[in-house]
């Protein structure tokens, strides 16, 4: 747990998410998707509980509270880098409610997750951000430099199905 004061005297507490955070995190995830371009998020309280609290969780989550009220969240999962033979965390989501931005909530989440990663033997954090999200990019540049020599590739939806179908059609 992390507790700190911001310069406007609001207390920030970062803690692992619990089952009863499902509605608040789903609400913030929808707000994140909307701010990222009006995409409709399918992440719901049900999905949070199903995928975050199963026997083999797909992700872990943190909640940042200001004066006891959820103000932000982070969703992450563990990964491994074969080049450095080290483990680390991929930060899938980081979101702070608009009215709490620039109050230290995002920094508190990043600090907490970095310390947690190191305490668990991890040596790196990785995240991605949309090029058009200038505010997020500015925030992240205060944390770490943007990588210039990496291209992120992704297969979602139809593209993902086409790749999987190739393997299925080949008899794998």
Indicate whether 171 pLDDT > 70: no
What are the distances in angstroms from CA 150 to CA 36, 43, 165? 21, 28, 28
Most confident by average pLDDT, 40-44, 69-73, 100-104, 155-159: 69-73
In 3-state terms the chain splits into helix, strand, coil percentages (rounded to 5) of 40, 25, 35
- Here the CATH number for the domain that contains residue 33 is 3.40.630.30
In a domain, 169, yes or no: no
> Is residue 147 in a domain?
no
Model confidence at 27, pLDDT cuts 50, 70, 90, reads very high
Does 154 reside within a domain? no
- Over 70: is that where the pLDDT of 5 sits? no
> Which of residues 37 and 142 earns the better pLDDT score?
142
64, pLDDT greater than 70? yes
Confidence at residue 76, expressed as pLDDT on a 0 to 100 scale: 96
pLDDT tens digits for 97-151?
888 888 789 999 999 999 999 999 999 999 888 888 888 888 888 888 888 888 8
**Domain range enclosing 68:** 2-127
Note whether 79 and 126 are within 8 A (CB). yes
47-56 contact pairs (CB < 8 A, 24+) = 48/21, 48/22, 49/19, 49/22, 52/17, 53/19
Two structure tokens written together for 130? 């949309």
Q: Which residues contact 112 (CB under 8 A, 6 or more apart)?
A: 2, 14, 62
Is residue 89 assigned to a domain? yes
Q: What is the pLDDT of residues 69-93, one digit of tens each?
A: 999 999 999 999 999 999 999 999 9
**23: Cβ contacts below 8 Å, ≥ 6 apart:** 45
Q: Would 163 be classed as within a structural domain?
A: no
Q: What's the number of domains the chain is made of?
A: 1
* Domain-embedded: residue 166: no
Instruction: Answer whether residue 8 is part of any domain.
Output: yes
Report residue 8 as tokens: 């406007």
Residue 161 in any domain: the answer is no
Determine the pLDDT at residue 38.
Answer: 63
Strands (E), the chain: 2-5, 11-16, 60-66, 69-81, 86-96, 124-127
């Amino acid at each position: 747990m992390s507790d700190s004061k911001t310069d406007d005297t609001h207390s920030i507490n970062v803690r692992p998410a619990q089952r009863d955070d499902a509605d608040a995190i789903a609400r913030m995830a929808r707000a994140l998707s909307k701010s990222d371009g009006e995409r409709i998020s399918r992440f719901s309280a049900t999905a949070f509980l199903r995928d975050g609290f199963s026997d083999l969780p797909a992700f872990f989550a943190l909640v940042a509270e200001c004066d006891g009220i959820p103000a932000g969240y982070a969703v992450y999962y563990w990964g491994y880098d074969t080049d450095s033979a080290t483990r680390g965390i991929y930060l899938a989501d980081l979101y702070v409610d608009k009215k709490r931005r620039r109050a230290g909530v995002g920094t508190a989440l990043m600090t907490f997750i970095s310390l947690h990663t190191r305490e668990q033997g991890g040596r790196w954090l990785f995240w991605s951000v949309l090029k058009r999200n200038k505010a997020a990019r500015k925030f992240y540049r205060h944390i770490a430099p943007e990588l210039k020599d990496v291209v992120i590739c992704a297969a979602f939806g139809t593209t993902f199905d086409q790749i999987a179908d190739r393997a299925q059609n080949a008899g794998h």
